[in-house]
């Protein structure tokens, strides 16, 4: 009975001890290394199998110019799996072999200890295009050039290979059996220090860039014009040789002629004074070259403003000074409320909010006697009752008088019993818009001082 008990107690211990001794020289249960089953195998046995399976051919070396291929076989590389496996074995405790049984497979990745000929690696680097480009590099340069978005700085700075750094980083890759390295990402390149001339060019560009990128928008009645860097760039004065002009304090000088051209183009695009576009009631697009309605930018004052503004930029929105500014509402064009006189059909219409709310036949200036009413864009500048109109050979009482341009106005003509048709050609007015009394009374109440009036054929 005691023998059986002793056997029960001692045998497990002997088995445990036996396996511990067994695993002192071999890999424990469930061990896999680099995809090879290693349980019970010795270090030399596993090392031999790993070497048969292991391949390491090339390192792809990425440079700014291209991709260089480093062939590992050319470096007299030696691989030693045994020392790497021994290190792994030393970390294992054979007395706890049972833990491997409980935890299952142990999947490990082990790289060999790698040695190579450093001199051969240096020779390879010196043979690369990346290194050879060091030997034929051009001088670095900085240039300020005019592009689509204003002036920009064009840099020509060569990237120089730091050979010692490249050797260090490449060695690390090889020792870890790596297959790719980007030398630029690994900071193996450097640039020359900028010359004094280059530093001065960069400082000048900072001044130019600060000017051309100011935020300035012209607010022109119902339109906006953002001044772009490409436009401001042209305002910076240059010599005939293309260099920038600086004043005695080293500050940029501005080209008054270029700024004048900009303001002139702005005026041509947005001015409506004596150049007024209009869409007639029947859909025709016309331009009226005479009148007293619209806006005209004061070009000289705006040129002076910009010359001062560039020296000390401030406001971001600019409402220009106008030499002429006669408008109704917030637009310098005809909006939706206005009077239109079509002399071809001898009719006058009043538009309110885009709809015709009033119309009547009229009689305009007598064309056969050289008193034809001119084509105009004008405005109501006053309203009067019970006035006497007189000229060289006439004196007439009117109940309603609405002057719109000089001596030309809209008024009733009680001495007429017919309106419209072709009366204006032989028996027209002295230039005014003759209107039936009852219609004139109706229109008079609709009109406001400032309202635009368009007279055309």
Please, which residues have CB within 8 angstroms of residue 24's CB and are 6 or more apart in sequence? 94
User: Do 414 and 307 sit in the same domain of this protein?
Assistant: no
pTM: 0.71
User: Do 368 and 314 sit in the same domain of this protein?
Assistant: no
Helix axes 299-311, 256-270, angle to 10 degrees: 130
Nearest to 453 by CA among 401, 378, 347: 378
Last-in-domain residue among 278, 295, 326 = 326
Helix axes 81-90, 43-53, angle to 10 degrees: 130
Nearest to 448 by CA among 350, 357, 377: 350
What whole-number percentage of the chain has pLDDT above 90? Answer: 77
- Reduce the secondary structure of the chain to three states and give it as a string: CHHHHHHHHHHHHHHHHHHHHHCCCCECCCEEECCEECECCCHHHHHHHHHHHCCCCEEEEECCCCEEEEEHHHHCCEEEHHHHHHHHHHCCCHHHCHHHHHHCCEEECCCCEEECCHHHHHHHHHHCHHHHHHCCCCCCEEEEEEECCEEEEEEECCCEECHHHHHHHHHHHHHCCCCEEECCCCCCEECCCCCHHHHHHHHHHHHHHHHHCCCCEEEECCEEEECCHHHHHCCECECCCCCECECCCCCECECHHHHHHHHHHHHHHHCCCCCEEEECCCCCEEEECCECCEEEECHHHHHHHHHHHHHCCCCCEECCCEEEEECCCCCCCCCCCEEEEECCCCEEEEEECCEEEEEEECECECCCCCCCCCCEEEECCCCEEEEEEECCCCEEEEEEEEEEECCEEEEECCCCCCCCCCHHHHHCECCCEEECHHHHHHHHHHCCCCCEEEEEC
Does residue 295 lie within any of the structural domains?
yes
Whether residue 336 has pLDDT greater than 50: yes
User: Do 345 and 449 sit in the same domain of this protein?
Assistant: yes
* Over residues 423-448, mean pLDDT: 97
CATH of the domain at 277: 3.10.20.800
Render pLDDT for 382-435 as a digit per residue (tens, 0 to 9).
Answer: 999 999 999 888 899 999 999 999 999 999 999 999 999 999 999 999 999 999
* Over residues 15-44, mean pLDDT: 73
Does residue 439 lie within any of the structural domains?
yes
Whether residue 16 has pLDDT greater than 70: no
* Over residues 187-215, mean pLDDT: 94
Does residue 57 lie within any of the structural domains?
no
Our count of domains for the chain comes to 2
Render pLDDT for 337-370 as a digit per residue (tens, 0 to 9).
Answer: 999 999 999 999 999 999 999 999 999 999 999 9
Whether residue 285 has pLDDT greater than 90: yes
Does residue 158 lie within any of the structural domains?
no
Does residue 70 lie within any of the structural domains?
no
User: Do 322 and 352 sit in the same domain of this protein?
Assistant: no
User: Do 380 and 307 sit in the same domain of this protein?
Assistant: no
The angle formed by the CA atoms of residues 247, 253 and 257, to the nearest 5 degrees, is 140
Evaluated on CA atoms 40, 43, 47, 50, the torsion sign reads positive
| Confidence band of 13 (pLDDT split at 50, 70, 90) | very low
β-pairing, 338-342 vs 180-182, is unpaired
* Over residues 234-253, mean pLDDT: 96
User: Do 374 and 443 sit in the same domain of this protein?
Assistant: yes
Does residue 29 lie within any of the structural domains?
no
Supply the pLDDT for residue 29.
78
Whether residue 22 has pLDDT greater than 70: no
User: Do 400 and 428 sit in the same domain of this protein?
Assistant: yes
Question: 319, 225 in Cβ contact below 8 A?
Answer: no
Mean pLDDT of the chain: 90
Q: Using CA atoms, how far apart are residues 455 and 239, in angstroms rounded to an integer?
A: 51
Question: 432, 373 in Cβ contact below 8 A?
Answer: yes
Domain span holding position 240: 214-326
User: Do 390 and 440 sit in the same domain of this protein?
Assistant: yes
Last-in-domain residue among 297, 326, 355 = 326
User: Do 355 and 394 sit in the same domain of this protein?
Assistant: yes
Please, which residues have CB within 8 angstroms of residue 206's CB and are 6 or more apart in sequence? none
Supply the pLDDT for residue 426.
96
Supply the pLDDT for residue 19.
47
Render pLDDT for 79-104 as a digit per residue (tens, 0 to 9).
Answer: 999 998 988 887 765 544 444 454 54
Supply the pLDDT for residue 137.
74
User: Do 317 and 374 sit in the same domain of this protein?
Assistant: no
Q: How far is CA 26 from CA 13, 19, 29, 93, in A?
A: 20, 10, 9, 12
Q: Using CA atoms, how far apart are residues 70 and 410, in angstroms rounded to an integer?
A: 95
Whether residue 149 has pLDDT greater than 70: yes
Last-in-domain residue among 261, 291, 326 = 326
């Amino acid at each position: 009975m005691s023998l059986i008990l002793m056997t029960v107690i001692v045998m497990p211990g002997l088995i445990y001890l036996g396996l511990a001794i067994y695993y002192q020289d071999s890999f424990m249960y469930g061990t896999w290394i680099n995809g090879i089953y290693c349980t019970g195998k010795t270090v030399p046995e596993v090392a031999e199998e790993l070497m048969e399976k292991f391949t390491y051919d090339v390192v792809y070396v990425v440079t700014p110019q291209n991709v260089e291929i480093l062939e590992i076989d050319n470096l007299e590389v030696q691989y030693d799996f045994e020392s790497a496996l021994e290190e792994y074995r030393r970390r294992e405790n054979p007395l706890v072999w049972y833990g491997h049984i409980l935890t299952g497979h142990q999947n490990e990745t082990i790289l060999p200890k790698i040695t190579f000929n450093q001199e051969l690696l240096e020779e390879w680097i010196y043979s690369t295009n990346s290194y050879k480009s060091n030997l034929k590099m051009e001088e670095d340069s900085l240039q300020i050039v005019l592009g689509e978005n204003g002036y920009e700085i064009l840099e020509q700075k060569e990237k120089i290979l730091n050979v010692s750094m490249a050797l260090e980083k490449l060695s690390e890759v090889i020792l870890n059996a790596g297959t790719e390295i980007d030398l630029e990402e690994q900071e193996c390149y450097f640039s020359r220090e900028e010359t004094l001339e280059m530093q001065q060019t960069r400082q000048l560009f900072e001044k130019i860039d600060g000017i051309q990128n100011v935020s300035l928008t012209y607010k022109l009645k119902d339109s906006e014009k953002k001044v772009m860097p490409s436009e401001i760039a042209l305002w910076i004065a240059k010599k005939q040789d293309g260099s920038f002009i600086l004043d005695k304090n080293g500050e940029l000088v501005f080209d008054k002629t270029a700024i004048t051209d900009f303001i002139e183009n702005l005026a041509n695009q947005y001015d409506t004074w004596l150049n007024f576009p209009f869409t007639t009631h029947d859909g025709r697009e016309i331009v009226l070259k005479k009148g007293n309605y619209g806006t005209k930018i004061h070009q000289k004052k705006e040129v002076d403003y910009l010359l001062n503004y560039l020296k000390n930029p401030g406001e971001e929105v600019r409402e220009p000074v106008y030499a002429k500014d006669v408008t109704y509402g917030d637009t310098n064009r005809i909006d939706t409320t206005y009077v239109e006189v079509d002399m071809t059909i001898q009719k006058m219409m009043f538009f309110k909010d885009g709809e015709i709310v009033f119309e009547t036949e009229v009689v305009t200036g007598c064309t056969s006697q050289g008193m034809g009413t001119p084509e105009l864009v004008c405005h109501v500048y006053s309203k009067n009752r019970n006035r006497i109109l007189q000229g060289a050979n006439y004196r007439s009482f009117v109940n309603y008088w609405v002057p719109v341009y000089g001596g030309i106005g809209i008024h009733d003509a009680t001495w007429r019993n017919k309106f419209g048709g072709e009366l204006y050609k032989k028996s027209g007015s002295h230039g005014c818009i003759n209107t039936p009394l009852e219609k004139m009374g109706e229109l008079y109440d609709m009109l406001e001082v400032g309202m635009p009036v368009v007279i055309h054929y």
